[in-house]
Structures are given as structure tokens and as C-alpha cells.
Amino acid sequence: MSRHREGDLIDGRYRIEALIGSGGMADVWLAEDEHLPRRVALKILHDHFARDPQFIERFRREAESAAALQHVNIVSILDRGQVGDTYYIAMAYLDGRTLRDLILLGLTPPESVAIVRQILEAAGFAHRHGVIHRDLKPLNVIVDQTGLATVTDFGIARAGVSDMTETGSVMGTAHYLSPEQAQGLEVEPQSDLYSVGVVLYECLAGRVPFEGESAVAVALRQMQEEPVPPSAWNPSVTPALDAVVMRALSKEPYERFPDAETFIEALDAAEADPMSGYVEPEMGSKKWMWFAAAAVLIGLFIAFVATRDDSVRVPDVTGQSLDQAVSKLNGEGFSVGEVKRKSEPGPSNLVLSQDPSGKADRDCTLWVFSCSDPDVNLVVSSGPGQVEVPDVSGQSQSDAEAALEDAGFTTTAEDKPSSDFDAGDAVETDPAAGESAKRGSEVTIFISSGPSKVGVPALVGITFEAAKQKLSARGLEFNSSGVESDRPSGEVLTQDPDAGSKVDPGSTVELTVSTGPADTDTNVPNVVGLTEAEAKSDLTSAGFTVSTQQQSTSIEQQDGRVIDQNPSGGSTASGGTRIVIMVGNYSPNAPQNPGDGSGGIGID
């Protein structure tokens, strides 16, 4: 658990407001930069990693890798430093959702392509500057309300040769690792493009291409099995988009797209011609060598071909879920061909029929040593059918729920700030109005809670001027009152509401501001006639400072004693005032001061 708390001041600059998220390596906090009027995301390394030189190096390299990459789709690094025994990175605060959250809500193919195109722009820029991210996944992509996607977390990125990225070191998240990463082999830009292919697959299908009970099981499937096209899970995925995804997920790096720009061009082409598919390039100019070798071997194959059994028994997968069927077929050497959807009562993704079934002919030719098993085409249930979600925005919660239930959906409600709809009225739904969803599925209604609230900043302990700037930046008003205190003048003593409270925009925050210590006057002691030492003692004890001046006197009794003082005894002055005393210096020939006489100093 982190030892940092809301309100802590990090490195004398960053005031922690709230915990955004926590990972295996560090916590990420929302913080206010008190030097500049901005909010930042503060990534603080976990204390137990701060003692590990390898993790400190990884953390340092994240800051350096990302700071060197200034791109609209890559998070900006603003600062880095040390706090106590650990380290931090200050990044631009991204107000949005992770791509993982959006996938759970559901994305259309055009939305998926738009986001992945931006991830590729970021990856391509990094690759051109010699940096490989090595951990591209939906949790490392933030999408704001305008649709801008930003890639974060360059914690295991590689820039050039590093002893932390040698062959044999496996770093990253299992579901998104390329086969070469899973084996600990050398990583190259095509490894990032494989990870982007997995992200695109998940955006389109709502799931990753390979699941497993452990990271090792997932990695083995990445290396050994072919993925089912995303259209098997989402019929709205076009053949052209299927082809782009399948090329990105090729096992061999050289079979994938050579760079991010080519990947983007393929996505553009798929959108322009949805029904086309990717055509593999020709092998090259050495085809004649293969024909020559085949001609030599024909004679050897003839006897084998004439006597071999070309049939094979296909596993029966009817009645199984699509995932189970694919795993069983792949496990026995078969590939899944076309997957067709059919609306049927009962569970979705259940295999209704297969072709071929039972005993089937294998695909054999004279030019191979063995026969290949046939592709198995499947017909899968799509469930009880799709229904269009009605538009209920602006309706009361009860009316909106009734309209959705009449359309065949169940409902749940969540609050959402909105300045466009009255509190208690429906703002929008998920799935959105006009989209199709399975009859009987749940639709979330977002109910307006009124305008969005504003967080009150921490103001106690800072100057009144700084407090006014913070309140103005958040659209808040203030009232202030002064009070005497032992705190410096102009320092904020109290605030109402407290820091972290949520209020409406334009609300007023009450401030109490120190006017400094209270002024108090003190009676000035009369020290005329006292010795210099006695006078100083009385005056300093009363809270005054003392300045001494010598004055010649012809009266011997005045020698070494106070002849006069300013301010005079019996008057009042504030504490710390300087009192000037005139001390007599006897000289027989000194002129007699006006007013000097036998009773002048009260000495018997």
C-alpha cells in the first residue's frame, strides 16, 4: 500500500488530490502543480522497488523514452525527481477513459479503426526515433471525449541496446505479447505491430484472440495456434478488416506489416473496399528452384500417393461453445473456416452444425509430403435476435425504464453530470439509441445528476493571492475576512468548504486570512536618575529596545546616571520601540544644562 495520501505535497510542488490507479510497479495520483496552474498525473514508484537498481533504471528510462517523443498521441512528460527514498514522474493529466473501458462498453468497427489508427501513429513515430514500446495494450491507451487517443507507460520501452532488453528477457502482458517476445527472442518494431493487432482484434471482437488459465498457457497458444477471425465473434467485421487483423497477427515478423505506416494504409484500404481481402505477395524470382525440386521428387511420391488413405475423421463439436469448438479443432490439427451466424432461441455462440463432419477427405497433392486436414465451417447461434435500442433522452427515469422494458430490455441506472438535461431525466443509454442489442440484454440508462461538480482545492497555508488564483482557475468565487494571529500576514487560516469537497461551478468559498499579530501598547518606565545598567534592565524587561547617548554634566551626582529619556517615562509605546536614554558624563568644566538643579534628577 502506498504511504502517500491526499493532500501530501510532493517535492515541494505537487499537491496530491486523488489516486487515479495502481499498478505492479507504481501508483498514479492526480495532483495540482503549485508552481504552475495545471493538474498533472504523478507516477510514484512503489517503495519496495526503489531499492532495486533494475526497477530504478526502468523507471528512469520510462521518463527519458517518453520525454524524447513529442507527439500528439504520446503522453507528455513534464518533470521527474525523487521524493524521500523513491522516485516520481510528472506527466500531463489525461482526462478520459482507458481503451479497456471503451472495449467493455462496446466499440463499432469504425470506432475501433479510428482509435487503432492513432495508436499506430504513436508507434510509428516512436519506431522512427528508435524506441520500441514493448507493452502496447488497451490499459496503456487513454481516449478523451473528443476521441483523441494517447499512448502511455513507456516503462519497458527500448531505445537502442540495453542490458534490460537482452535476448531471453520476457517483459510485457501475456495476451498482447508477440510470439518472439513470448520466447524471449529479439524484439523489433513488428513486435509492437503484433500487439496493436491484438488490440484491434479485441476492439472488434470484444475479446482477445487467445485465452488461457495462466500467462504460460496464453503464450503457448500465441506461438502454436492460429486465431479465429474477429468476424466469428462480431458479424459486422468486414472481410477486408478480417484480413488486416490476420496479417498483423502472423506468427513470423516478416509476414506482418513492415511498419506502422503500411498498417495504416491497409486499414484505409479496408474501409474503402470492405469486401476485399489481403493477397499474399509472390514468393519472388526463385520459383523455378521449387519447380525443379518438385520434378525430381514426383517419381518418389507416385507410389506413396497411390496407396495412402486420404480420409480423416473430423471431431464432432456440435453443441459446444464456439470457444470450446475452436480449441478442440485446433488441438487436433484442424483449422476453422467460415463461421456463419444463425438466430436461434437459447444461448449465443453455440455450434449448431459443422461441415465437414464424421469422415472427410483430406486435401492432398503430389507436391507435399503429407495431406492437410480440411477447414471446418461452423454454423453458430447468435441468440434470440437483435432489437434496436429506443431513444429515451429527456424522459424521466421511470418513463425511460418503461420504454426500454417494452422494447424487450432489462435496465440499470447510473448517475451522470449533465448541464443539458434536468436532474432526474435520462441523458443517454449504453448501448446508444439506434444501436442493435440482443433482446433481453441489459441497457444502462444514464440519469442526469445536474451540472458537473468542481473540486475545492487545498488553500489553507498558502497566500491569499495564490488562493485567489486557484479558485479563479476552477471557476469558483470567494469571500474573505481578516483575523489577527501569530501566522504571517496574508496567509489563509481556514476555508469552507474543505479541500476536496465537490461544489457547483460558481460557488463561493469562505476564507479566513491572517492580518498578523495584534498591536499592543505598553507604559514606558521612568528611568531618569537610574544607572545605565538599571535603566536598560527596566526598559528591556518591559519589551523595549534601548539606545544610549553620553552627555557632559558639571553635576557630579549625575555621573553614570540617566539624565533624560525619549519617549519620556509614563508615556505609552508599542512593544519593541527603541527608547533613547541620555547618560551623564561628569566634567567639572562642563556647562550646566538648562534645567539642571538640585532636584533635577531626584538624587539625595
**Residues tagged active-site:** 135
CB atoms within 10 A of CB 259: 17
591 preceded by a cis bond (ω within 30 of 0): no
The DSSP bridge partners found for residue 496 are 510
Q: Please calculate the CA angle 293-294-295 and round it to the nearest 5 degrees.
A: 90
230 preceded by a cis bond (ω within 30 of 0): no
Burial pattern 247-257, b for ≥16 Cβ within 10 A else e, equals: bbbbeebeebb
Q: Nearest CA to 64 among 162, 138, 198, 182?
A: 162
Cα 176 from Cα 122, distance rounded (Å)? 17
* Long-range CB pairs of 30-37, under 8 A, 24+ apart, other chains included: 30/93, 31/90, 32/457, 32/458, 32/470, 33/90, 34/9, 34/462, 34/466, 37/469, 37/470, 37/473
CB atoms within 10 A of CB 224: 12
Cα atoms found within 13 Å of the Cα of residue 41, Cβ hemisphere only: 20
Sign of CA dihedral 206, 157, 145, 468: positive
- Asked if residues 524 and 566 have their Cβ atoms less than 8 Å apart, the reply is no
Burial pattern 157-189, b for ≥16 Cβ within 10 A else e, equals: bbbeeeeebeeeeebbbbbbbbbbbbeeeebeb
Residue 516, classified by CB atoms within 10 Å of its CB into exposed (0-12), middle (13-18) or buried (19+), is middle
Burial pattern 52-84, b for ≥16 Cβ within 10 A else e, equals: eeebbebbebbbebbbebebebbbbbbbbeebe
Set of cell numbers at residue 204? 472488434
Sign of CA dihedral 497, 498, 501, 506: positive
- Asked if residues 67 and 27 have their Cβ atoms less than 8 Å apart, the reply is no
Q: Nearest CA to 341 among 447, 233, 443, 267?
A: 233
The DSSP bridge partners found for residue 18 are 30
**Helix/strand/coil (H/E/C) assignment for every residue in 439-469:** CCCEEEEEEECCCCCEECCCCCCCEHHHHHH
Cα 543 from Cα 536, distance rounded (Å)? 11
DSSP state of 20: E
567 preceded by a cis bond (ω within 30 of 0): yes
Set of cell numbers at residue 285? 524470382
Lookup result for grid cell 449448431: 352
Residue 221 φ/ψ, nearest 5 degrees: -65, -35
The β-bridge relationship of strands 96-98 and 141-144 is antiparallel
